[in-house]
Structure 1
Amino acid sequence: MTDRIPVIDLAPFISGDSGARAQAAMELGWAAQTIGFAVVAGHGIDPIIGTALRDVALGFFDLPLEEKIVIRRPKNDQNRGYIPYGEETLVRMAGGDSPPDYKEVFAIGPDSVPDEPYFTGPGSYPSFAPNLWPAAPENLRPRMLAYWKSMETLMRILAEALAISLSLPDDTFADILDHTHTSQLRLLHYPAVRGDAEPGQLRAGAHTDVGMMTILRN
């Protein structure tokens, strides 16, 4: 066991021979099973995609509250739209309680889904609830969707490596992560503390994410 989060270079997995792929996969699998986290490098995702999204996201969060609240999350069981400060307490996912998380969120799910029962029928809610997009900034939507697409690419690389690390066929998770997946993309904004923080209040309370994996970017 280690107290350091390992850095896993995915370049050998993406373009190396079978031995290099297996080695990178085992390193990622070890990190997933023993620590639960890893920093991934060499993934080939253009960093400009993330930087461009970060810039426009900050523009959205800088808007007056009355403009952001127009696309407020309709229901608490949806990760769609704007979630203002005070409306999310993640520690409650595990039955705990605390003051609300000191942050605000803008979240989307799959966009432009097909008109098929899997995506639009009664069982599709809330996984395929419609996204809510703000009028401004105008380039938020295209930049979020570009980032979404790049993370779809990365998640499939990671899933393939994890399958190999478990001695499973490399396409084991391919069907799960095709166009029917129910991933979410959440932009988190942690505003400067204004002196109104309550005892025990955190930016994000202790919780375990649902789903196969979480990809974080600062």
Structure 2
Amino acid sequence: MSEEKTGLIEGADGKTRCFWHANLPDYLAYHDNEWGRPVVDDKRLFEKLCLEGFQSGLSWLTILRKRENFREAFAGFDFEQVARFTEEDVERLLGNAGIVRHGGKIRSTINNARRAIELCEQEGSLARYFWRHEPGLEERPEKLDYATLRTLGKTEVSTRVSKDLKKRGWTFVGPTTVYAFMQAMGLVNDHIEGCAMRTEVEAERQRFRRPA
């Protein structure tokens, strides 16, 4: 069966994986080493949520290939520092050809850094907040094949988290953006059945110590 039917693709190493990385070296490394593996570091969580916002209307590969530029431009996504950015910083970033020069998304990142500080004060950390929204088994499909994955652009959980974040003043955090964040940060394992990474990622999720 074709990859369009199965959602799987064979790599040069003979392993079968989710097809979306298209065997491009940088995308393949992201698929194997990052996507779906649980993250507890607040800076990485903040970074990913911001970059998912920048991705809106673009491909993740575009953002991935600019990620180091984004990190340099946004102080390593240290939200304590980004929260202090001013309009001068916005103008500086609008002139930075290494990132996505979108005024609304740049200002959203600065706004969300301020909201992240507030969320940490209220919840203890970003990790504690996001991981308490990890879907339970009853909220996940019994079998994750490609056809099922295609229906999961957003879920009840991502919609609930999106609404809560928006109430707290966050922007560019729609349900689809939040679900993509959950997939990448390991709150769900969306490597489909037959992907060589699925079992490995699930084992890592099982060993992972959730924030108290």
Q: What TM-score do you get using the length of structure 2 for normalisation?
A: 0.31
Larger radius of gyration: 1
More helix by share: 2
| TM-score, with structure 1 as normaliser | 0.31
